[in-house]
Amino acid sequence: MLEGFNTSGTVIAEHINEALVINLWISVVLFASVVLPMVYLAWKYHESNVKNEDIENITHNTALEIVWTVVPTITLFVCFWYGYTSMVTARTMPAANESITVQVEGSKWKWRYEYAANPSGFVHKLGGAFTKPVRDENGKIVQEGTMGLSALYVPVNTNIILNMTAPIDDVIHAFFVPAFRMKEDVVPGRITKQWFNAEKVGEYDVECAEYCGTDHSYMYSRIVVLPKDEYYAWFNSSDDTPKGDYGKSGDAVLQQHGCKSCHAITTDKQLVGPTLKTRRLTKEQVLDVINNGQDQLGYAMGAMPAGMASGTDAEEIAAYVAGGMKGDQPASFAACSSCHGEDGKGQYGTSPSLVSYDVDLLRNVLKHGKKGMMGTMPAFPYVSEAEIQEVAKYLEAK
């Protein structure tokens, strides 16, 4: 992937690349100035070519010494100068009234963007987590990792200023756009800034370049540079994503709030939380989980965080999750069937489907019961570990 690297579509990128190229040539010359004489001398004065009487103890040569001090020094000043001027290009913020300012928030492990209110007072909030590629046991990718549709949408040929920060209890990240050769740390409790002006319509990848823990290597995002009219059409609307290729909104919104970094959507895979490919929850129930979080199922990660989304977004997600996602029976399963149905797929309104439950979840539910969204599941504290395993294996086979 890494979109757009060779496009180099900004002034900053051009200037920094120029600095790099000049530095490259200087380095090659200086490298040669050391290594070529070395190889030559090692060959010329190799012991097989030299008689002891010919050895001379030369310890000084003022002219030469001045040359090899002054010339590299000059080249270093050249390097400094290009480093300095390209930094000035990168760091001189354009005037705010000639630019679009976007608030960027980096947190473990997602990027979020907030725009100024548009003419009708609507505030666009975008961004979210990258969905990790899902792999099977052999490491083969069964579900591609993707940034989905969420991105930082900006118009072409316009100054964009990023005001960046991280939540106060989070850690340092760095907003790195290789294609634009730009990078700056995002520090909790501080506001740092970057700017760019993209000259080419297209997509560019964003990476997190400051180590931030478990999913540091998945903290990607995208910048989508749009033609001006497309951008403003979107900006002035209250749509989540621009028209065109950008908007299967349910998926995009799910994406944007970072659900997909923890929940699989199209497979039965358990990531951090349970898969959402299931029909067992109603819209209201999902809404409840989104608003209040949930911490009952005993996943290693702990709680499902509250307030991942709100308002119309949350409703939309809830509808999406609730609506779209979908043997020999061991004797011990008889205890479950009364509530969960013969096939374990749940009975409408009273008990959830167990089809996607794994061992951890099952053990927890059986030991502690489960209170909540669909009435209470009674606890079965005396179920043995072996039985749990058996039930789990059975369910898995479905």
List residues binding ligand CUA (CB under 6 A): 106, 109, 173, 208, 210-212, 216, 219
As measured in angstroms, the least distance from the Cβ of 99 to other proteins is 18
As measured in angstroms, the least distance from the Cβ of 173 to other proteins is 10
Q: Are strands 221-226 and 152-155 parallel, antiparallel or unpaired?
A: parallel
Q: Is 392 in the site for ligand HEC (CB under 6 A)?
A: no
Q: In this structure, are residues 99 and 161 in contact, taking their beta carbons and an 8 Å threshold? A: yes
Between vectors from CA 242 to CA 8 and to CA 151, what angle results, nearest 5°? 50
Considering only CA atoms, give the Rg of the chain.
Answer: 30
Distance separating alpha carbons of residues 210 and 232, to the nearest angstrom: 33
Q: In this structure, are residues 261 and 129 in contact, taking their beta carbons and an 8 Å threshold? A: yes
Distance separating alpha carbons of residues 53 and 361, to the nearest angstrom: 86
| Per-residue contact string for residues 235-264; x = within reach of ligand HEC by CB under 6 A | ----------------------xxx-xxx-
Q: Which is nearer to other proteins, 224 or 253 (CB)?
A: 224
Q: Is 112 in the site for ligand HEC (CB under 6 A)?
A: no
Distance separating alpha carbons of residues 33 and 176, to the nearest angstrom: 35
Q: Which is nearer to ligand CUA, 22 or 171 (CB)?
A: 171
Q: In this structure, are residues 314 and 287 in contact, taking their beta carbons and an 8 Å threshold? A: yes
As measured in angstroms, the least distance from the Cβ of 209 to other proteins is 4
Beta-bridge mates of residue 192: 164
Q: Is 212 in the site for ligand HEC (CB under 6 A)?
A: no
Q: For 73, what's the count of Cα atoms within 13 Å in the CB-facing half-sphere? A: 6
Q: Is 39 in the site for ligand HEA (CB under 6 A)?
A: no
Stretch that binds ligand HEC, among 65-73, 97-105, 174-182, 273-281 (CB under 6 A): 273-281
Query: Which chain residues interact with ligand HEC by CB under 6 A?
Result: 257-259, 261-263, 272-274, 276, 281, 286, 289-290, 294-299, 301, 303-305, 308-309, 317, 321
Query: Which chain residues interact with ligand HEA by CB under 6 A?
Result: 30, 34, 72, 76
